Each structure stands twice: as structure tokens, then as C-alpha cells.
Amino acid sequence: MKNSISIFFLIFIGIFMNSNAQDIRVHDPVVIKQNDTYYLYNTGWGIGVYSSKDLKNWKKEPPVFPEKPEWTDSVVPDFKNHIWAPDISYHNGKYYLYYSVSAFAKNTSAIGVATNTTLDPDDKDYNWVDHGIVIRSIPNRDMWNAIDPNLIIDEEGTPWLAFGSFWNGLKLVKLDKNLTKIAKPQEWHTIARRERSFKIPDADPGDAALEAPFIYKKGDWYYLFLSWDLCCRGENSTYKVAVGRSKNVTGPYVDKEGIPLSEGGGTVILKGNEDWYGRGHNSIYNFEGKDLMFFHAYDAHDNGAPKLGIKEIKWVDGWPELEPFN
């Protein structure tokens, strides 16, 4: 009996250690490492934060914004401090945290940015400085939505911000050298689009479901990952991750079949299954020599709770594949 218990324990530990989902409730996870600690930022009240030493055991930290940024009510009246889809990176000796403020299913939205010199809340220098609005979308003026930001620095050191969802697709705009404003003269690109029904009113998000761009440089290629279909509906979520690649950060991005993402193309590499509904809204980083994809999924065995997923990327003939695939 003792040996049976030991074998069961070893099997349990093996399953746990090889699991690609972590038992913390998150949407839209992004991750960065400072010294020996990983910090995860996610959609939530004031921007949710977790820390970890091993990407398995997570500690909840104070939110980035205990009080909502002052400017948010001007975009969304009576804003409730539920901030969407952050993006975290380190440049010029500072951490840059882009984030989204929006009314649900409307392009009444804006992307803001805050900076800090440290991510450790116990550090005496810990202090998020908000720089306000970077980009704003206004209904019946803009056929795009200012949410889901992702910063990418190209090979020449030029900063670009990818963003957007639904409407007329995902956009890329050049930023100034301070990474807090749009560069002038302005330069915009459409990097992905799906067909939208012509008769849908401009203020309606429509049926061209795509969002959450994340651009990752690997070798000679820029890879654009994006989420298709519907998020945030528990077992009815149809979220999935598609990808295309380009030699230039501005595109055109094409899928494995050579179809441009701006013409509805995209190679699907992750989707839901009977255990995990609606896997999507990914971010990708190289940690300890491994390319890892972080995403959220709804746990079919926990009433559809949103959980953190992590998978390692393998590159086959210049294209990303996930292990395990299911």
C-alpha cells in the first residue's frame, strides 16, 4: 500500500509539473523578468499583478493603479478602474506598461502608458508614473479600436505600437523616441483584417472578430500573433491564436499558405478543446533559452474560470508550433 501511495504521488507531481495551465485566474497575461522574479500583468481592477520565481507558484501583488488614472473618465464616463490588456517591456532604463481603457463592445477607447524604474513593490523606488493617453479611438470617427497594445522595437531601433480589434482590423503606428506619443509625421499601417459585413453601422464592432496583436522577432522574421473569434464567454468562447510572418515590421504579414493577414489570412496554432475553452490573447517571451507563449483559457473543470496557460514554442521550417499541441 505504501508503494502504491508513492507511485500515485509521483504520477501526480509529474502531471502537475508538465501542466500547461496555472491555477491563477487571469485574462490577457503579459510577463517580464526582473532579476530572479517574473512579474505577470493582466486585465483587472487597476491592472492585476502576480509575481513568481519559477512560473509555477504565483503570489498576488498590489494592482498598478489603486486609484484609476485621472484622465479615464474623459474617455469612459464613470470609469470603474477595470483596465484591459496591458503590455510590459523594458527600454531606456525604464519599464513601460501600456494599457487599455474602454467601454465594452464599443470603440470608445484609449491606450495609456505608465513607467517605473523597478517592478518590485517593496523597492523604495517603486512608483508608477502615468503619462496619459497615447492613442484614442472615437465612435463614428475611427474604424478601429484603441485597445490591446503591444510595443515592438524594429531592427533600426524605431518603436511601433500594434493594437486594435474588430472593426477594420489591427493597426500599427510609429511612436516617438520617448515611447509615450505618436511620432510625427504620423505613420500608420493595417497589419491584419478579416472581412466585415458592409451594412454594419460604423459604431458596431461587427462580425470581423480579431484582436490582441503580439509581434515577436525571431531570426530574420517578425511574427504577428493575433486572436480570432470570441473571448470572455466561458464555454461559448471560440477564441484561438493565428499567426503570420513578415521580413518587415510593417508587413505585409502572410500565413503558411501565403495569404496576407490583411486579406483574412492566418495559420491557427492554438484553439480550445474539451478541457480548455477559448484559448487566446497570447504574449511570447524568451526565458531561460526557451520561447514561451502565455495565454488565457477557460477551465472546463472549474466552471469555466479563466486560467493562465503556458506552452513552449518549437520552430519548424520557420514556423511556430506549440508543445503539447492539444
Provide the annotated active-site residues: 28, 211
> Do residues 295 and 301 make contact, with C-beta atoms less than 8 angstroms apart?
no
Determine the Cα–Cα distance for residues 158 and 134; give it in Å rounded to an integer. Answer: 16
φ/ψ of residue 311, rounded to 5: -135, 145
Determine the Cα–Cα distance for residues 161 and 92; give it in Å rounded to an integer. Answer: 16
Residues in CB range of 201: below 8 A, 6 or more apart:
none
Cα-based torsion angle of the residue sequence 37, 38, 40, 45 in order, rounded to the nearest 10 degrees: 0
- Closest residue by Cα to residue 279 from 305, 240, 308: 240
> Do residues 41 and 88 make contact, with C-beta atoms less than 8 angstroms apart?
yes
